[in-house]
Every structure is written in C-alpha cells, then in structure tokens.
A and B are shown apart, each in its own frame.
Chain A
Amino acid sequence: MREWLLPRKMLLIADKAEHMNMAQRVVTASLMLHREKALQRSDLGMLIGRTYLSLACVIIAGASMAQSSGKIRLQIDPPRTFTYKLDHRFTMQEADLELLEGAHHFSFWAPQRKVVDTTITMVGGTDKVFSLRLPFSTEYLVYQRDLRSYRKDMRVQRLLPVSATGLSLIYTAVKFGQLKKAHDKLESDRTAYNDATSPYAITYLKGDVIPVHKDEFDKARSGYRVAVGITVLFAGVTTYMYLRSAKRAKPEFHDAEKVRFDGLSWAPGVNGGEWNCGLTWNFTR
C-alpha cells in the first residue's frame, strides 16, 4: 500500500517508522526531506527555523490528516489469475489490501472472464472480505461453442473414417486369416498327394478333397479382395477427409476483455465504430 501512496524517497523514510500511522509518516517524511535540503545549504539558522516550522506542521498535519485505513481481503474466482485496477490507476494482483477509508474503484479481470467494475467503500479500522465470481466473457463462450463445433466436426471428419478404416483393416485381417487357412489346406493336399500310398487315396484327393478346398480358397480369396477393396476405399475417404478438414482453421480465442482491461477497446458504431485507448502510468514507481 505504501508503494502507491507515497513517492519512493518518502517510502524509504517511512519504512523506518513502522509504528507511526499514515498521516504521521507523511509529515515525518516531509520534515526529514526539509532537513536534508537545509543541511546541504549549511545554513544553521535557517535549519533551526525550518525545523520549528516543520514541527508546527507535524502538529497541524497530525490533527488534520487523521485519516484511518481498513483492510480488505479479495476472494475472486478464479483465485490465481485475476487482476484488478485500483482507482483506475494501479494494476495489482494482491488479495489482501490496506486502503484509506472512503470509496475505491476496482476493475477486476481474469483471462477468459469479463471485466467487472465495482466501487468498494472502506470504513476506517475495519476488516472486510469481498467475494466475486468473474463471469465468462461472451467472446470466450462463443470460442467454446466454436471449439466444440470444431471438435465435433473433426470427430466426424477424421475419427469416423479412421475408425471405419481400422475396422475394415481388422475385417481384412480376418479375411486374410481365412485365405491363409484355405491356402494351407491346399498345401497340405499337395503334401498328401506326394505322400499318398494308395491309388484310391489319390483319386479321392484329386476328385473330391482338392476341388472342395479350391472352392473354399476361391471364396476366401474373393472375400479377401473385397475386404482389401473396402479398406482401400475407406483409406481414400480418410485421406480425403483429412485433407479437407485440414483446411478448416481451428478456432482461436482472442481475449477482447483483456484489451478492454488493458485500456484498448473497440466501440462499434453506425459507421464502423472506433478504437478507444487509455494509458495508465504509475508515477510512484
């Protein structure tokens, strides 16, 4: 608090007098500054005169500046990322403050949230808790809606074809397994033919067994070709959908409330609106 109430040099002096109240610190600091300047001029008489004058000022200021302060604790949602401007001048993030009594203006803001302006009146010597939930900004809600829509479209355009392609690949693998099995049967028939020790066994093998197995192989091969065709089709569709969906830009969130909070704002109007810009400089730093 001292940091924004007092000039830097005075702060250094005031730090030495922690036990004083605010008004006493101001006057004491003023007195000590006067003493430093007087010593530089080496004018002892003037120094004594000014010292008495300053002592008089202390008495007068002590009576006239008996303004007390109060403490306030800010409970803001979101608790970690909120920022506020105090009295349109000082940008701060501290949750615990000690303020002079009277009305103080606060502008609260957090990423993705709206700027909320409010005035808090401090009563001297009292502690206060201020709770506020910053509402989400309209831009963020629109961004969330667009993002949901984008993700849904991505699911439809990417996940669905990929899933279909994956299933068709599994189907192809199953069909290949059947084809391999049918092929193995024919290979075993060939081995059985070479090893046959009976003319009848050969006749039965060539007349009955092998034709049946060839038929099974032909069917399995047809099924496998169909499965490969489906997989190729789905792979093509997936590639096309990927390329198509890649052209769609992912929604980006531009926090207009931050611009507003930082001092630059867009005011829409009949003829297109205008930019408004505010500049705040903390001279106490």
Chain B
Amino acid sequence: MNRAFLFILPLALSLVGCLKDDVDPAKLTSNPLDQDYDGPALIELVSDTTRIVYDGLNPVDTVVEQIINVRADLLAPGTDYKLYVTLVNTGAVFDYSSEIPPPQDRAYHHVVPGVAYCYDYQLVVQFSRTKAYRFCTTANP
C-alpha cells in the first residue's frame, strides 16, 4: 500500500511538471502575419530617392519615392495579400486603403528639402493588416 503511494505521488507530481503552461501570448511572435512579429522583415526597403518632376523643361514638383520588396517566401504558400501603404507626414496620414496606388501616387508630392517623409507599409490578408514597416526618406533633391 505504502509502496503504491510512493509510486503514485512522484508520478502525479511529474505529470504536473509535464503539463506546464508555457503558452504566453506575448511570446508568440513567430508568425509573419502577427502584429507582434519579430522575425526577419516581411517588407524591406530596396531604395529611396528624391526626384524633381519636370513638365518639359520646367520643374513642376519635387517628390520622394521608395522602392520596397515584400518577402512572400515568409508567408504560407498560396497566401493572397495586398500592399497597404500609408503616407505619414507631420501628423497627417495619407491612407491608400486596401487599394494599391497607381505608380504616380506612390510618392510624397511637393516635398520640402531637408524634411523627412515616412511611409508605413503593411500587407492586407483576408481583410486585416499585418505589422507596419515604416521607412523614412529625407527630401534631398
């Protein structure tokens, strides 16, 4: 009888040890679609530039442009996504919503030299957005 208890009790305690609660939401950061994702960047900045737009020979505008790359290889195969870009400048947000803007709209217009202009890039997957990647470029024509 006593030997049985000597066997049962360590077994019960070891079972408790096996069933530890090690699922911490704050530590779940490995999914690229997670807002708290901390793995390799899903969206990378390839290059940025400040460009003067001419109308013929007359300069009509100064714009800041960025070229980014989406790491689709980090997503599950077959994941359908759209790029969601927000232009951030002195508190004003230019939201392109879920539409991918046409090439002529992918820039800050009428930029002031020496001022930093930032873009927030996100992916829209099944009507919800991923973590935002912000890249800033200082207007320097």
Contacts and interface: CB of A to CB of B under 8 A. Distances in A.
Contact of B25 (A194, A195, A211): A211
A198 B1 contact: no
Interface residues of A, number: 41
Interface string A121-162: 000000000000000000000000000000000000000001
Contacts of A228: 9, 12-13, 16
Contacts of A221: 16, 19, 21
B13 to A, nearest CB: 7
A77 B133 CA distance: 104
Interface string A187-231: 101100111111111110011001101100110010011001001
A76 B31 CA distance: 93
Nearest to B6: A235
Given A228-B13, A231-B12, A242-B1, A183 B31 contact: no
Interface stretch (B58-66, B105-113, B124-132): B124-132
Contacts of A224: 16
A242 B100 CA distance: 80
B31 A225 contact: no
A198 B76 CA distance: 11
B34 interface: yes
A232 B9 contact: yes
Nearest to A173: B12
A220 to B, nearest CB: 9
Interface string B34-55: 1110000000000000000000
Given A169-B8, A193-B31, A196-B33, A186 B128 contact: no
B90 interface: no
A54 interface: no
Contacts of A165: 5
Interface size bracket, B side: 20 to 34
Nearest to A211: B25
Contacts of A186: 21, 23
B104 interface: no
A28 interface: no
B81 to A, nearest CB: 10
Contact of A203 (B13, B15, B19, B35): B35
A54 to B, nearest CB: 81
Contact of B35 (A187, A199, A210, A231): A199
A225 B16 contact: yes
A24 interface: no
Contacts of A214: 21, 23
Contacts of B34: 193, 196, 199, 202, 206
Nearest to B26: A206
Interface string B53-82: 000000000000000000000001001000
18 contacts: A169-B8, A172-B12, A179-B19, A190-B23, A193-B34, A194-B30, A196-B31, A197-B79, A200-B127, A207-B25, A213-B23, A214-B21, A217-B21, A235-B5, A235-B9, A238-B5, A239-B5, A242-B2
Given A214-B21, A232-B9, 4 more contacts: A183-B19, A187-B23, A199-B33, A231-B9
